[in-house]
C-alpha cells in the first residue's frame, strides 16, 4: 500500500481521488494538507480523512509516501521542493513549474532522494493517445494539425464583480496558457516533436494575465517522403469563452477529427473518399485522471520496471516547459520576479 496526501481542495483534487480509487486501489488517500485550517478540516471531513497537516515540514516528516499537489501554480515549485527534500514522491498538477531551471532542480532533488517527481497531464496517460498515434499510419503524409481548447471559466463572474480570482492573477503564475494551453502543447510535442520555430500572440486582461491566445509551431514532417518539407501545428486556447471547434490532424489520405484535446474522448478519420472510421470512444463513466494516478503509482512501486517510461516522461515534460517559456516570451506573458525564483 502506498499512502498519499493531497495539497489543495478544488474539484480537480476530487477528480484525482476518484481516478486513484478506480485504477490504483493500493494507492490510498491518507492525509490532507492545507494552508487554511478551516479548508483543510472541511476537505478532510468530505473525504473521511482525519490525518490533517497545516505545516509542510510536518507533512514531510510524516509516514506518508507520496503527495498530489494541486494548489495555485505559483506555489507548486516551493511545495514540491520541500516535499521532495523530505523524501516524498510528488505528482504535481499542470503547469508544474514556470521555468526549466525550477524543473531541473526538482528532478535533481528527486533523483538524489530516490523518489519520483511527475507532472500530472491526464490525457498523456490514457489509452486513447496510443490509439490515436496508431491511427496516424492511415493518414498518409501529415502536414497540418489544428488544436483548440477554450472554456469559459467559472471564475469570470467573480472577476466581473470586482474580485481577483487566482486563475486570472499573474502573481499566481496563472492565465489561459498555463491553465488551458498546456493541454495542447503536450500532445503537439508528444506527436510532432520540438518545433523548429514558435510564433505566439495573446489577448491580455486588465489583471495582467493572458485571457486567450494563438500559437503556431513549425515542425519537421513525420513522413520523409519528399511531399511536404515541413508541417504546421496551430494552437488556440482561452479561459474567457467556450469554443467547441473540431481538432484536426490532417494528412493527404485522410483527416483525424478529435472532439477534445483534454482527454481525446471521441475521434474518427474521414478519408479523402468521404468514408469515416471511428478511432476512439472513451467510457466517460471512469475518471479521466485515473491513468495518471495509476502511472504515478507504478513509477513509485516498480522503479526498475518503469525506469525507461519515467525517463521518457521527464524528457517530454522538459520539452514542454521549455516550449511554454518560449511561447510566453513570444506572446509577452510575464509573471512577477518571485514566480521565477529557484
From the list 22, 26, 43, 46, the residue with the least C-alpha distance to 34 is: 43
pLDDT of residue 193: 97
Residue 252: CB atoms within 10 A of its CB come to: 15
pLDDT of residue 287: 85
What would the pLDDT profile of 53-105 be if each residue is shown by its tens digit?
A: 999 999 999 999 999 999 999 999 999 999 999 999 999 999 999 999 999 99
Res 119 pLDDT > 70: yes
Q: What is the mean pLDDT of residues 213-218?
A: 98
- SS3 per-residue string spanning 269-319: EEECCCCEEEEEECCCCCCCCHHHHHHHHHHHHCCCCCHHHHHHHHHHHHH
pLDDT of residue 303: 67
In angstroms and rounded to an integer, the radius of gyration of the C-alpha atoms of the chain is 20
From the list 249, 251, 239, the residue with the least C-alpha distance to 213 is: 239
Tell how far CA 145 is from the center of its chain.
20
Cell numbers for 83: 516535499
pLDDT of residue 223: 80
Res 269 pLDDT > 90: yes
Q: What is the mean pLDDT of residues 223-251?
A: 92
CB 40 within 8 A of CB 6: no
In this structure, of 20-24, 213-217, 299-303, the range with the lowest mean pLDDT score is 299-303
Structural domains present in the chain: 2-114+289-340 (3.40.50.720), 124-281 (3.30.360.10)
What would the pLDDT profile of 7-18 be if each residue is shown by its tens digit?
A: 999 999 999 999
CB 181 within 8 A of CB 203: no
Predicted TM-score (pTM) of the model is 0.96
Res 226 pLDDT > 80: no
Residue 206: CB atoms within 10 A of its CB come to: 8
Amino acid at each position: 500500500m502506498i499512502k498519499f496526501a493531497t495539497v489543495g481542495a478544488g474539484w480537480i483534487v476530487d477528480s484525482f481521488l476518484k481516478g486513484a480509487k478506480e485504477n490504483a486501489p493500493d494507492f490510498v488517500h491518507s492525509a490532507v494538507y492545507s494552508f487554511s485550517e478551516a479548508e483543510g478540516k472541511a476537505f478532510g471531513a468530505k473525504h473521511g480523512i482525519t490525518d490533517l497537516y497545516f505545516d509542510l515540514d510536518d507533512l514531510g516528516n510524516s509516514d506518508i509516501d507520496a503527495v498530489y499537489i494541486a494548489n495555485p501554480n505559483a506555489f507548486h515549485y516551493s511545495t514540491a521542493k520541500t516535499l521532495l527534500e523530505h523524501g516524498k514522491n510528488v505528482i504535481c498538477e499542470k503547469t508544474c513549474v514556470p521555468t526549466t531551471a525550477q524543473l531541473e532542480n526538482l528532478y535533481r532533488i528527486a533523483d538524489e532522494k530516490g523518489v519520483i517527481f511527475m507532472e500530472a497531464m491526464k490525457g498523456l496517460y490514457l489509452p486513447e493517445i496510443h490509439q490515436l498515434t496508431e491511427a496516424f499510419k492511415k493518414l498518409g503524409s501529415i502536414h497540418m494539425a489544428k488544436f483548440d481548447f477554450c472554456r469559459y471559466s467559472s471564475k469570470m463572474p467573480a472577476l466581473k464583480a470586482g474580485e481577483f480570482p487566482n486563475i486570472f492573477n499573474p502573481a499566481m503564475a496563472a492565465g489561459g496558457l498555463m491553465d488551458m494551453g498546456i493541454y495542447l502543447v503536450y500532445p503537439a510535442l508528444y506527436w510532432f516533436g520540438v518545433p523548429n520555430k514558435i510564433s505566439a500572440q495573446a489577448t491580455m486582461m486588465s489583471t495582467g494575465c493572458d485571457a486567450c491566445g494563438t500559437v503556431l509551431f513549425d515542425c519537421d514532417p513525420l513522413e520523409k517522403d519528399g511531399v511536404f518539407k515541413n508541417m504546421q501545428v496551430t494552437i488556440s486556447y482561452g479561459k474567457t469563452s467556450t469554443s467547441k471547434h473540431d481538432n484536426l490532424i490532417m494528412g493527404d489520405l485522410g483527416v483525424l477529427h478529435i472532439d477534445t484535446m483534454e482527454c481525446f474522448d471521441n475521434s474518427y478519420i474521414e478519408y479523402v473518399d468521404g468514408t469515416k472510421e471511428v478511432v476512439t470512444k472513451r467510457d466517460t463513466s471512469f475518471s479521466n485522471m485515473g491513468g495518471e494516478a495509476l502511472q504515478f503509482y507504478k513509477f513509485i512501486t516498480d522503479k526498475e520496471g518503469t525506469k525507461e517510461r519515467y525517463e521518457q516522461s521527464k524528457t517530454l515534460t522538459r520539452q514542454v516547459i521549455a516550449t511554454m517559456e518560449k511561447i510566453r516570451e513570444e506572446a509577452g506573458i510575464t509573471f512577477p520576479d518571485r514566480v521565477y525564483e529557484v
